[in-house]
């Protein structure tokens, strides 16, 4: 799994160089690795020969080309925003392409400093759109995550009340009901969103209860694997009444995640939405695509 992840990271670096320059040779994704590899050599010993280094670099570049070919196959010309010419990636899409937004998030070294702190919020909206596309044309949803788009100090119990209203105001669903051992009105400092960044659901034609809900955790950082249990339904149920049947839990990451990693993490992460799956979903419906462009261009712009 870790071997695949390294190759995917190298491919990301080459692609982001192409975004910044218009085009970039795939070697732009292997330079850091080559430097770290040979920085460990003892300068007093022969070490790797020039030919050895060249061979190693060619192997790394070959791995990047394999990842690029995989992405081209999975996404097609519409979904993959680059063309490959003489082992160089050429940008072939505008800044409002969803793939570029997810790639841009992975290129950021800080997700908390301004203006880069806008990227995680934008990613949550893109995740919500992807969830709605996955659930079907009638799906609805709401970004539950903190801070709120227009009221940063919104308390979680107020957010729960809004969610209940939007999801149909069904009896016993999303009611604020903290366990007796918990504070009745926690501050945003002590409890922000309980790990629930987005909620999507599919209303019945009769607008009745017992509808399908999907609750999602959005993990932008390189440490996304440590967030696979942050959204834990039994803990969430200690704060509010969850719908029946229980919501489906999901995790969203802007990274292209190897299938072995998805299989390994899914038992505790729930449904896994990675970059490839999200891009396919965001491009699957014209209305979803138009809405997504509002967030994608902004993410790419602040990341450049």
Could you give the CA distance from residue 299 to residue 122 in angstroms, rounded to a whole number? 7
Could you give the CA distance from residue 154 to residue 152 in angstroms, rounded to a whole number? 6
| Percentage of the chain lying above the pLDDT 90 cut | 76
Cα Rg for the chain, rounded, in angstroms?
A: 22
The DSSP-derived string for 56-107 is HHHHHHHHHHHHHHHHHHHHHHHH--EEEETTEEEE-S-TT-HHHHHHHHHH
**pLDDT tens digits for range 138-158:** 999 999 988 776 555 678 999
β-pair type (198-202, 212-218): antiparallel
pLDDT, position 43: 47
Name, in order, each residue with C-beta under 8 angstroms of 281's C-beta and a sequence gap of 6 or more: 129, 130, 133, 134, 273, 288
Q: Which of 255, 243, 248, 247 is nearest to 279 (CA)?
A: 255
Cβ-contact 18, 68 below 8 angstroms:
no
**pLDDT tens digits for range 74-133:** 999 999 999 999 999 999 999 999 999 999 999 999 998 999 999 999 999 999 999 999
pLDDT, position 39: 43
**pLDDT tens digits for range 273-282:** 999 999 999 9
Q: Angle CA(193)–CA(245)–CA(173) in degrees, nearest 5?
A: 50
In a 10 Å sphere around its CB, with 0-12 CB exposed, 13-18 middle and 19+ buried, how is residue 39 labelled? exposed
Q: Is the dihedral of CA 88, 93, 96, 98 positive or negative?
A: negative
* Partners of 198 in the β-ladder: 143, 216
pLDDT, position 290: 96
Q: Which residue has the tokens 């072995």?
A: 260
β-pair type (88-91, 140-143): unpaired
3-state secondary structure of 51: helix
Cβ-contact 255, 275 below 8 angstroms:
yes
DSSP state of 242: P
Bond into 245 cis (ω within 30): yes
Q: Global pTM?
A: 0.90
pLDDT, position 227: 84
pLDDT, position 57: 73
Spell out, as residue ranges, where the chain has pLDDT lower than 50: 34-36, 38-40, 42-43, 45, 48, 50-51
């Amino acid at each position: 799994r870790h071997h695949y992840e390294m190759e995917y990271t190298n491919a990301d670096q080459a692609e982001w160089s192409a975004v910044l320059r218009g085009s970039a040779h795939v070697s732009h994704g292997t330079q850091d690795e080559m430097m770290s590899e040979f920085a460990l050599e003892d300068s007093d010993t022969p070490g790797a020969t020039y030919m050895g280094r060249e061979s190693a670099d060619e192997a790394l570049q070959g791995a990047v080309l394999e990842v690029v070919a995989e992405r081209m196959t999975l996404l097609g010309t519409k979904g993959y925003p680059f063309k490959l010419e003489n082992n160089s990636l050429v940008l072939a899409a505008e800044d409002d392409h969803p793939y570029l937004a997810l790639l841009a998030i992975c290129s950021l070294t800080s997700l908390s400093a301004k203006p880069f702190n806008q990227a995680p919020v934008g990613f949550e909206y893109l995740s919500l759109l992807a969830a709605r596309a996955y659930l079907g044309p009638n799906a609805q949803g709401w970004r539950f995550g903190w801070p709120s788009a227009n009221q940063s100090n919104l308390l979680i119990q107020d957010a729960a009340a809004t969610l209940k209203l939007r999801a149909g105001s069904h009896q016993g669903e999303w009611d604020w009901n903290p366990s007796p051992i918990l504070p009745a009105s926690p501050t945003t400092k002590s409890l922000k969103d309980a790990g629930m960044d987005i909620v999507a659901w599919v209303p019945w034609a009769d607008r009745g209860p017992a509808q399908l809900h999907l609750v999602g955790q959005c993990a932008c950082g390189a440490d996304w694997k440590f967030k696979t249990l942050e959204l834990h339904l039994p803990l969430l149920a200690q704060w509010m009444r969850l719908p029946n049947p229980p919501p489906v839990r999901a995790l969203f990451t802007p990274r292209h995640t190897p299938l072995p990693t998805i299989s390994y993490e899914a038992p505790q992460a729930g449904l896994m939405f990675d970059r490839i799956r999200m891009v396919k979903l965001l491009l699957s419906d014209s209305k979803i695509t138009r809405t997504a462009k509002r967030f994608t261009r902004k993410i790419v712009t602040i990341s450049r």
